[in-house]
Amino acid sequence: MFLRITALLTLSAACLSAAGDKLDWKALPDLPGGLGVAGAFAGAHNDALIVAGGANFPEGVPWRKTTDGGDPAKVYYDTIHIVTRDGLDYSIAEAKARLPRALGYGVSISTASGVLCIGGEWREDGVTHRSAKVFALGYADGAVTMDADYPPLPKDTTAAAGALIGKTVYVAGGDSGEGATQNFWALDLAKRGADDFGWVELPPWDGQARTHLLASSQSDGGTDCLYIFSGRMKGNDGSWNMLSDAHKYNPKTGEWKKIRDIQPSGDAQPRCVMAGTVAPIGANQLLVFGGANGKRFVTLTGLGKQIVAAEAAGNQQAAATLKAEQQKIQDTHTGFSRDVLLYNTVTDRWTRFADFTEDSRRATAPGATERVAIGSHVTTTAVKWGDSIIIPSGESSPGIRTPNIWKIDLAKPGQAFGAANWIVLVCYMGVLVGMGFWFSRRSRTVDDFFVAGKRVVWWAAGLSIFSTQLSAITFLSIPARAFSTNWTWLILNLTIPLMVPLIVFCFLPFYRRLNITSVYEYLEMRFSSGLRKLGSASFAVFQLCRMGIVILLPAMALSAVTGWDVSWCIIAMGVLSTLYTVLGGIEAVIWTDVLQTVVLLGGALAALLIIVGQVDGGWGTIFQTASEQGKLDMVQTEWDFLKSRDTIWVIIIGGIFSQILAYGTDQAVVQRYLTTPTEKDAAKAIWTNGLLSIPASLLFFCVGTALYVYFQQQPAQLGPVANADQIFAHFIVHQMPAGLAGLVIAGVFAAAMSSLDSSMHSIATAVTTDFLSGATTDKTKLLRTAKWITFALGVLGTVSALIIAAQDNKNLWETLIAYIGLILGTLGGLFTLGIFTSRTASVHAWIGVIGTAAVLWYVKFQTEIHSLLYGAIGTVTCFAVGLAASYAFPARPKNLNGLTWAKR
């Protein structure tokens, strides 16, 4: 569902001041024939737009007689048209293939196998017939293909709506022969070819039956859900009910929820948008184009009843007057609503976002007394084609079609970052580089470059650990998670203090007393050089992945506020970080981390105070609203360990093991332990980080919750945001004062650089110490080699970020946690096996590694187990398999004096 970051990064910087410039409209070639059609099947497949079937009135508008005195016939079509593109040029052609029959007003859903055409209607001998057939139209090698190997709907149905979530198609509402329905069916495409491949009837929404409704899928911040809007139904008394309500279906829970009526801020009452079009945009938004409010429809229906009554009473003059009034209303209709509404699925708020384009092209029809101004298109389908939205043909005014096909994109940002912000940001970057030059004078030996000559004070080492581990993931992703969901993942960060005693008493003594530089030297002392190299290489791979993620986040923020391409932002970040790290070594890294921690927390605190100051009711309203809407919920007690649920057991177990892996086996962190003068100072540094993580975590979760309440109160201030992690950056750019916004963006850079420099330096330390130290005794050459490796790693980290930027990641924090579990889980098992057992030897550790790799592969690709548990599974598996192997295949270990807990 989510759009590629590289293509839509500028969404969060879209200017919200004027409705007219928020969307870019491009006219594609018109549908041939001059009239256009309503109710066509439309979708995209293999980079081609398919428009098939539909209906129109070729003899004239439906409310006027033809030249021979008859009523204009509604004609349905079986033709298929294909729109293709070559660069920026588009062309349209009629395909040789035809639909199984003339057909229209069904449901169109684009899938990987083709455009699924579901249900619909046709007309024969003056009678309208409904269809239950389901087939797929594809495009390959310049031709249209048709696949009819799909089960029919349970009932013949027209005027329904549907959407695709994952591999499941959902169809809701429609007319199955007796008026509006509450049909709700699902078809799991993953079961195609199986005996149980078929439509399943699901419980409907708690609301009125409806036809001509709108439907789309989008994330609600945690789950991809189905949304249905508006529609109409005929009451028992014959009157029409124009619906303005909306409902959400969560496929994971199987539950419906009534959501906010379609009432943009500023509207006095909810509005009907029946037969309009809807499409997902960004991370958590839906665009609703136009629609019919139904007022004219109700008026004409009422006049029709009066005409029938007047004719039945023999009052032909009254009937003629009413008919004239009816025809005047039809002739003077200026088109359906041109409003483009934006619905945010997280805040559950509507806003009027833009206008449907007003173009010189007109919609017309044979027999119309005047050319009718084009309105929005209804009775068509909004199609996602790449990163664009396509609205093909449709009905622009009652009874009048339009052949126009529109390509719609979000307008590029028009807001500059501002001179004050640039001055703050550039000065901050200059300070960082200057610190690199300053500390380069003290980084003259290998020990200086790797462990700062063991002269770093404990509080600076502690702040450096804090800054390294929390990074831009904290600054952007945690507020985004609190905004989108709740406080469940706060418990994850609260497990950091829980691991401090374990690290201080069980891991730290070995690292300090063995006088090592790389933590993986312990694996050679305890097991073998091969496992040392495996551990070091695994760590290097993990850090390269992590570098890509932590450099991507601030690059996204900079791209959003400046309009620069995200790739150039990534490159700029990589160059700056690499420069001062290569120059100053670990001492420059630690002291820039100290500065960056101050900026990180200061920027977040300033942002929080500004948000609270702009919320009506301040803190009281924030916490009351958040509490009432479940935004402060932290505990889900279900015994569920699958990806679909963040239960407390998953968070606690996964959190504890993730912290042990990060603080016990990660060279980037352990290296800080080795820079202090004494073991006692190192312990103080670990405690500093553990205790600071509590208020810092509360601060960032409060920012996300405050943003949620702020954007609920002021929905017009939140435009489409391409990625959920950009929500905080969006507020910074649009709502914070000049200069201060630059400081907070500098905080984003601070968060990323503190992790990026640590990753580069720690990998260089591990590679130099674990792989190259035995090749030469020349310390000067080794120092020069370490700096070149640091430089190369800066390049590799930058490339890693460019690669990850091309992926579709819903939440980068979760991605990082998954990497930690998969890569470091084995290392955690090796260290615990070495420290807490005395009978295991190298061969047993290797067996544990192999067994862990097999188990993690199975868990990752064959199960739905929560990714946060990967670290726990890897650690426990390696420990258990290695220990069991020591009993099955006894072998003599090395001299264990000072290397295990029993012989410490």
Identity of the residue numbered 247? H
Environment class of 772 (CB within 10 Å of its CB; exposed 0-12, middle 13-18, buried 19+): middle
DSSP of 159-195, one letter per residue? Answer: S-EEEEETTEEEEE--BSSSSBB--EEEEEGGGTTST
Rounded distance between C-alpha atoms, residue 693 and residue 463, angstroms: 10
Structure tokens that stand for 484 in this block:
């989108």
| The pair of three-digit structure tokens given for residue 604, joined into one six-digit string | 């977040």
**First CA to last CA distance, the chain:** 53
* Lowest mean pLDDT segment, chosen from 243-247, 362-366, 881-885: 362-366
Rounded distance, CA 263 to CA 770, Å? Answer: 63
Maximum mean pLDDT: which of 215-229, 529-543, 745-759: 215-229
Average pLDDT of the segment spanning 772-795: 77
108-121 pLDDT tens trace: 999 999 999 999 99
Q: Buried (b) or exposed (e) across 241-269, using 16+ Cβ within 10 A? A: bbbbbbbbbbbeeeebeebebbbbeebee
Residue type, 777: T
DSSP state of 10: G
Give the per-residue pLDDT at 363.
55
User: Model's pTM, two decimal places?
Assistant: 0.86
Q: Comparing C-alpha atoms, which of 108, 104, 10, 8 is closest to residue 50?
A: 108
The phi-psi region of residue 125 (left if phi > 0; otherwise alpha if psi is between -120 and 50; otherwise beta) is left
Whether 74 has a pLDDT exceeding 60, the answer reads yes
Question: Region 382-395: what's the mean pLDDT?
Answer: 94
- Strand segments (E) across 582-671: none
Mode of pairing for the β-strands spanning 161-165 and 168-172:
antiparallel
pLDDT in tens, 460-504: 999 999 988 776 667 788 899 999 999 988 998 899 999 999 999
pLDDT of residue 6: 29
Nearest residue to 756 (alpha-carbon basis) of 396, 392, 467: 467
Q: Are 604 and 699 in contact (CB under 8 A)?
A: yes
DSSP states along 295-359: HHHHHHHHHHHHHHHHHHTT-HHHHHHHHHHHHHHHHT---S--EEEEEETTTTEEEEEEE----
Q: Which amino acid is at 116?
A: L
Are 320 and 386 spatial neighbours (Cβ–Cβ below 8 Å)? no
Residue of 638 and 811 predicted with greater confidence: 638
Q: Where are the beta strands (DSSP E) in 681-792?
A: none
| pLDDT tens column, 344-361 | 999 999 999 998 876 645
For residue 785, what are the contacts with CB-CB under 8 A and spacing of at least 6? Answer: 768, 772
Longest dimension (CA), the chain: 115
* Cross-strand bridge partners of residue 350: 343
| CA atoms 586, 587, 590, 596: torsion sign | negative
Interval 212-231: pLDDT, tens: 999 999 999 889 999 999 99
Q: Is the pLDDT of residue 768 over 90?
A: no
Question: What are phi and psi for residue 637, nearest 5 degrees?
Answer: -90, 0
pLDDT at 722 over 90: no
Amino acid at 447: D
Whole-angstrom distance, CA of residue 340 vs CA of residue 26:
16
Q: Does 64 or 370 have the greater pLDDT score?
A: 64
CB burial readout 87-123, b (16+ within 10 A) else e: eeebebeebebbbeebbbbbbbbbeeebbbbbbbbbe
CB 754 within 8 A of CB 597: yes
Residue 227 or residue 338, greater confidence: 227
- To the nearest 10 degrees (0 to 180), the angle between helices 740-767 and 566-614 is 130
pLDDT of residue 836: 93
